[in-house]
Amino acid sequence: MEKSLFRYVWRHTKPEQFSILLIIVLAQVFYFLSLNIPKTIVNEAIQGRAFEKDAQGRAVAGSTTNFFAIDIPIPGFISDVGSIHIFDGIPLEQVPYLIALSLLFLAMVIINGQFKLNINTMKGRMGERMLRRLRYELFDRVMRFPQGHFRKVKQAEIATMVKDEVEPLGGFIGDAFVQPVFLGGQAATALFFIITQSFWLGMVAVGVLSIQIGIIPKLRKRVLVLGKQRQLTARQLAGRIAEAVDGAADIHANATSNYERADIANRLGRIFLIRFELYKRKFTVKFLNNLLAQTTPFLFYLIGGYLAITGQLDIGGLVAVIAAYKDLPPPIKELIDWDQQRQDVQIKYEQVIEQFTPDAMLDPALQAPLPEPPLKLNGGLMLSGVSAFDEAHKLLDGASFKLDGSSHVALIGPPNGGKEAIALILARLVHPAAGQVKIGDRDLVDLPEIATGARMGYAGADTYLFPVSVRENILYGLKQQEHAPAQYGDEEKGERERYFSESRRAGNPLFDVNAEWIDYQAAGVSGPEEMDKRILDLLPAVELDDDIYRMGLRGTIDPDAQPKTAAAIMQARAELHQRLSDPQIAALIEPFSRDRYVRNMSVAENLLFGTAAEADFAPERLAQNKLVLRVLEDQKLIEEFVEIGRQIAETMVELFADLPPGHPFFEQFSFIAAEDLPEFRVMVARIAGKGGAENISGDDRARLMALAFPYIEARHRLGLVDEALQAKLLKAREALAEALPEGAVEVYDREKYNRAATIQDNILFGRLIYGQAQAAERIGALIGEVLDKLEMRRTVAGVGLDFNVGNAGKRLNAAQRQKIGLVRALVKQPDLLVVNDATAVLDGGAQARLMAAILKLRQGSAVIWALSRPALAQHFDMVLALREGRVIAQGGFEELKKPGSAVADLLAAE
Amino acid sequence: MSLNQEVELLRTIPLFAKIEASKLKLLAFTSERLTFEAGQDLCRQGDMGDAMYVIVEGAADVLIDTPKGPLKVAELKKNEFVGEIAILCDVPRTATVTAREKTTTLKITKDLFFRLVQEFPQMAVEIMRELAHRLEMNNLRMRQLQAQQKN
């Protein structure tokens, strides 16, 4: 990238800059014309100079003048014709003439405005395009950073640079060339005018200007240094804040929050000093600028006056000079401002570019899309004399070996003895410093990244998951390049074409994010459906099938988009409910039914009888819901609710009175928080004193009513909801269902899939009955049984693939993340599978099982596996032992484990 | 069964006989009533335990794993309690308890148990009495075994 912002801008915007300049020149012509019109209106139209006049000096009625006559004046030195007559104009009387001139004035105003708008639009577009180009180029560079560089940079700092620090550049780029030309021209004209009037006064103006131009940049130097510091400290602050967020757990565990506070406060203090100093200096410069600008008229009066007195300058000339000088400072000031801004953005630019220019950046050609499908990588592997470093630490020291293209190879040895380095080199995460790595007859260094990315599967010790679904995370390994263009409708097509032409102008790539990026063909499947099958087939090998199935049970689907799945789940519901005839199962589930009160569900849930799609209708917020309260009023249920609330309050006061606040029972069992209990005690006593529920005040009523909503008859067993009340609540349920706004609640319907509820709830269509031992496990097993009978377990697991893994996969545990990483590597059916200790987070038994299953899947295809436990190497065709970066033994496991050999030592050490 | 009925039921259990009604109500409200089907395990030998059970209704067998398979060592009837060892001594369950018929229990968590014992020494005495009784039974059985071996 260019070191100078100006050269960078000029290279990419030359034609645009020229066209803007051209328009500015054109605009000046119209501007000059518009300045002349007011004079014509006053003199010719209003004062009537253009018309014949009567004795009172009024224009004679019927007298006309020609509007819009066009004469081009010819300067005397070309011809003495005076002017060339082009258009006679339209004869008009005084008032129409005034109207015509005024309209012309309006037209000029609009034209000038239009010019300004056009110029600003063009400048803005140019600036935004450059900003887009710059941001893209910076990101492109991030993609090409050598891996080691990522250890040195902080992600928050990189993000601030791309996002914030280059932003002011966009605004400036539009003005980068136009502004100085424009303002400089204006200033030069004024100065020239002054010199023509009086040489000496001109020299005074030039003198003062040169002081301005000479001194101010010197004063600015410190300002620039400060500006640099300000940018750097602010960026580091962003980095430190990100660190504090990332390290929150350790900060809490070590109680170092105050240390962090001290550090941030210290930084803020430094930033304050820098910013304040900057502010002071900026205003000092401003003050000086103004002072110099104001001294010039002083000198003009003094020197100009003296010249006038001594007769060397006429008074008119002096007045004209002073008037012309008025036009000189604003452009100069703006020019100085522009210069300030220029240096500011130049610093920002340099600072950013510096950070994005590490050594050993990847050659862009290595990442360019390939015209043909990538070639196979199954020609065997050869390392000769390969050394690699990580900072100053030696990873590999002249390692050499040869492997054939389909064998299963285990790499063993002490940690950091070289086995990991080989895996990293093959995955191209570490570049060999010396020696040669050959895959087939190709040198690995020269192979396009896409070729290895597509044909090699790599699973490292930690897998980064993007905050998308499990499925998309697995398919991430198949998105090297576009495979089929996106399909657009006619309208979108045009929009897309405009998008691409704009991308081209801003130097952005012409990749289409909506295109089909997944290489189904390389994975050996025909499309998404078959791909899902492939993934589901792979899950058992990494023992992830059960987890994904459970995620599926907790997942939701859109029955319109997946009618088949919804229908199948409805079938499972029917099947499960058929089994309710078995009393053992009936004892576990209380099914939903429109005309029955569900005792194992809260009062609120019974009223709602559905899944809330809007937060206002969530069961815990129902007591505040206006619509619900209105329905209760209509159904004459308010008194009942207040009474239930009163009894709950009474019981709670009685039961929990002696418990210390903060006792876990409050959270687990009480309807009333510990801190509210005294208030309720007073309330209960007051109500008892007043002789009954009729005299409860409005405020108390609302608080008591709210207690009734979470009450679950089967769980709390206070006997508050009897048959009569159940009947009334069922009526209220009906009334509420009719009053509900569209889409707020997905009402339970025996015959309909509930799109707001999870698959499990849809199958269950009822509530677990309280007090049944291991009810959840038994129901889980039962649902599994039903799904197995309908052969639907995989369908549910398919829904589980939609599970969003959360930020960096944090909604999954470490083992699950690693397993997804393995599936990501396996799903592309790579020519070479490289596993770098990817199963280390699993327990020993699971490690061995996973390894066996994966090796079975990979029969006939190459596997290179860096193992942390040498004993596992017995399942491989060949074993390579590495220590201190060197290959110390190579061969079959049986052969190598003979007593006294290096492998025997490793095994003994385990 | 409503809470008040449950309190009445608890009152008939000797372990809780001396506890005042309001505390019994708290016990009933905060402890879970768990129903086990015949053949279901209340607890399994070797698992970590966090609760004891009072049998309110039904009956259960206490089984110990031996090399020859499970060995029934005791029977539990209504009003008896089980599972106190694991929560008293923080050791894994020492036996498997299996419901012989449909059995209703009161599940008393570790927290609740210690609270009750602290507040109602009477209950502690009741538990000690039961434990002493069980110890005596074991001693008796040991003597019988020794006698058998000598013969």
Q: In the structure, what pLDDT confidence band is assigned to residue A55 with cuts at 50, 70 and 90?
A: low
Q: Which residues contact B4 (CB under 8 A, 6 or more apart)?
A: A719, B25
pLDDT value, residue A77: 61
Q: A571 to each of A437, A762, A789, how far by Cα in Å?
A: 57, 10, 11
Domain-embedded: residue A106? no
> Where are any strands of DSSP class E within B15-102?
32-36, 41-43, 51-57, 60-66, 69-76, 81-82, 96-99
Enumerate the residues of chain A whose CB falls inside 8 A of the CB of residue B20: none
Q: pLDDT tens digits, residue range A99-154?
A: 888 888 888 889 888 988 988 899 889 989 999 999 999 999 999 998 888 888 88
Q: Per-residue pLDDT for A346 more than 80?
A: yes
Q: Per-residue pLDDT for A693 more than 60?
A: no
Q: Residue B2: which of A668, A669, A719 has the nearest Cβ?
A: A719
Q: Residue B34: which of A651, A664, A773 has the nearest Cβ?
A: A773
A651 and A699 together in one domain: yes
Any idea of the CA torsion for A309, A310, A311, A314, to the nearest 10 degrees?
-40
Domain-embedded: residue A786? yes
| Tokens standing for residue A596 | 């029955």
pLDDT value, residue A45: 76
Domain ranges of chain B: 3-150
Structure-model confidence comparison of residues A835 and A907, the more confident one? A835
Q: What fold is seen in the domain B3-150?
A: Jelly Rolls (2.60.120)
CA–CA min distance A567, chain B (Å): 33
Residue finishing a domain among A516, A536, A564: A516
Q: State how far the Cα of A700 lies from the Cα of A685, in Å rounded to an integer.
A: 12
Q: Per-residue pLDDT for A469 more than 90?
A: yes
pLDDT value, residue A640: 87
Domain-embedded: residue A389? yes
pLDDT value, residue A389: 87
Domain-embedded: residue A436? yes
Enumerate the residues of chain A whose CB falls inside 8 A of the CB of residue B25: 654-655
Contact A814, A841 (CB under 8 A): yes
Q: State how far the Cα of A67 lies from the Cα of A91, in Å rounded to an integer.
A: 6
- ipTM at complex level: 0.77
Q: Is the dihedral of CA A383, A435, A839, A879 positive or negative?
A: positive
Domain-embedded: residue A308? no
Q: Please tell me whether residue A406 adopts helix, strand or coil conformation.
A: coil
A456 and A577 together in one domain: no
Q: Per-residue pLDDT for A614 more than 80?
A: yes
Decide if A774 and B42 are in contact by the 8 Å CB cutoff: no
pLDDT value, residue A692: 61
A500 and A387 together in one domain: no
pLDDT value, residue A161: 87
CA–CA min distance B17, chain A (Å): 18
Domain-embedded: residue A718? yes
A742 and A755 together in one domain: no
Decide if A717 and B25 are in contact by the 8 Å CB cutoff: no
Q: Per-residue pLDDT for A57 more than 70?
A: no
Residue finishing a domain among A747, A767, A793: A747
Residue finishing a domain among A801, A832, A866: A801
Q: Would an 8 Å CB–CB cutoff place B39 in contact with chain A?
A: no
CA–CA min distance B145, chain A (Å): 37
> Which of A584, A665, A669, A717 would best serve as a mutation to test chain B binding (most B beta carbons within 10 A)?
A717
Enumerate the residues of chain A whose CB falls inside 8 A of the CB of residue B22: 654-655
A633 and A666 together in one domain: yes
pLDDT value, residue A80: 67
A845 and A817 together in one domain: yes
Q: Which residue of B has its CA nearest to A652?
A: B26
> Which range among A470-474, A710-714, A891-895 shows the weakest confidence by mean pLDDT?
A891-895
A831 and A762 together in one domain: no
Name the helix (H) or strand (E) containing A836.
strand A832-836
CA–CA min distance B129, chain A (Å): 28
Q: Which residue of B has its CA nearest to A669?
A: B30
Domain-embedded: residue A471? yes
Domain span at A782 = 556-592+748-801
A842 and A893 together in one domain: yes
Q: State how far the Cα of A584 lies from the Cα of A772, in Å rounded to an integer.
A: 10
Decide if B2 and A717 are in contact by the 8 Å CB cutoff: yes
Q: Report which residue type is found at B108.
A: I
pLDDT value, residue A572: 92
Mean pLDDT of A536-551: 93
| CA-closest candidate to residue A429, choices A378, A474, A395, A402 | A395
A574 and A614 together in one domain: no
Q: Would an 8 Å CB–CB cutoff place B138 in contact with chain A?
A: no
3-state helix, strand and coil shares in percent for chain B, rounded to the nearest 5: 45, 30, 25
A795 and A816 together in one domain: no
Q: In the structure, what pLDDT confidence band is assigned to residue A462 with cuts at 50, 70 and 90?
A: confident
Decide if B25 and A771 are in contact by the 8 Å CB cutoff: no
Cβ neighbour number for residue A463 with a 10 Å cutoff: 22
> Which range among A97-111, A426-440, A559-573, A662-676 shows the weakest confidence by mean pLDDT?
A662-676
Chain A residues at the B interface, defined by Cβ less than 8 Å, are 584, 587, 651, 654-656, 664-665, 668-669, 716-719, 770-774
Domain count for chain A: 4
Q: Residue B30: which of A665, A773, A774 has the nearest Cβ?
A: A665
pLDDT value, residue A888: 87
Q: Per-residue pLDDT for A553 more than 90?
A: yes
CA atoms within 13 A on the CB side of A285: 24
Q: In the structure, what pLDDT confidence band is assigned to residue A865 with cuts at 50, 70 and 90?
A: very high
Cβ neighbour number for residue A808 with a 10 Å cutoff: 12
Q: State how far the Cα of A512 lies from the Cα of A482, in Å rounded to an integer.
A: 8
| DSSP notation for A618-668 | SGGGGGG-HHHHHHHHHTT-HHHHHHHHHHHHHHHHHHHTTSPTT-HHHHH
Q: Per-residue pLDDT for A264 more than 90?
A: yes
pLDDT value, residue A71: 64
Burial A301-333 (b: 16+ CB within 10 A, else e): eebbeebbeeeebeeebbebbbebbebbbebbb
Domain-embedded: residue A473? yes
CA–CA min distance B89, chain A (Å): 22
Rounded percentage of chain A residues whose pLDDT exceeds 90? 25
Q: Per-residue pLDDT for A28 more than 80?
A: no
Chains A–B, number of C-beta pairs less than 8 Å apart: 45
Q: In the structure, what pLDDT confidence band is assigned to residue A686 with cuts at 50, 70 and 90?
A: confident
CA–CA min distance B147, chain A (Å): 42
Place of tokens 């944090």: A810
Q: In the structure, what pLDDT confidence band is assigned to residue A47 with cuts at 50, 70 and 90?
A: confident
Q: In the structure, what pLDDT confidence band is assigned to residue A175 with cuts at 50, 70 and 90?
A: confident
pLDDT value, residue A910: 65
pLDDT value, residue A72: 62
Q: pLDDT tens digits, residue range A708-759?
A: 999 998 888 888 888 899 999 999 999 998 888 888 888 898 888 998 899 9
A637 and A704 together in one domain: yes
A292-295's contacts with Cβ under 8 Å and 24+ in sequence apart are A292/A208, A292/A211, A292/A212, A293/A212, A293/A329, A293/A332, A293/A333, A295/A208
Contact A650, A684 (CB under 8 A): yes
Rounded percentage of chain B residues whose pLDDT exceeds 90? 11
A613 and A738 together in one domain: yes
> Which range among A295-304, A474-483, A703-712 shows the weakest confidence by mean pLDDT?
A295-304
Decide if A773 and B36 are in contact by the 8 Å CB cutoff: yes
Contact A288, A216 (CB under 8 A): yes
Q: Per-residue pLDDT for B65 more than 60?
A: yes
Q: Would an 8 Å CB–CB cutoff place B109 in contact with chain A?
A: no
Name the helix (H) or strand (E) containing A746.
strand A745-747
> Which of A655, A658, A777, A778 would best serve as a mutation to test chain B binding (most B beta carbons within 10 A)?
A655
Q: pLDDT tens digits, residue range A279-334?
A: 998 888 888 888 887 777 788 888 888 888 887 777 777 777 777 777 677 777 78
Rounded percentage of chain B residues whose pLDDT exceeds 70? 99
Q: In the structure, what pLDDT confidence band is assigned to residue A476 with cuts at 50, 70 and 90?
A: very high
Would you tell me the crossing angle of helices A844-857 and A814-827 to the nearest 10 degrees?
10
CA–CA min distance A665, chain B (Å): 7
Q: pLDDT tens digits, residue range A505-516?
A: 999 998 999 899
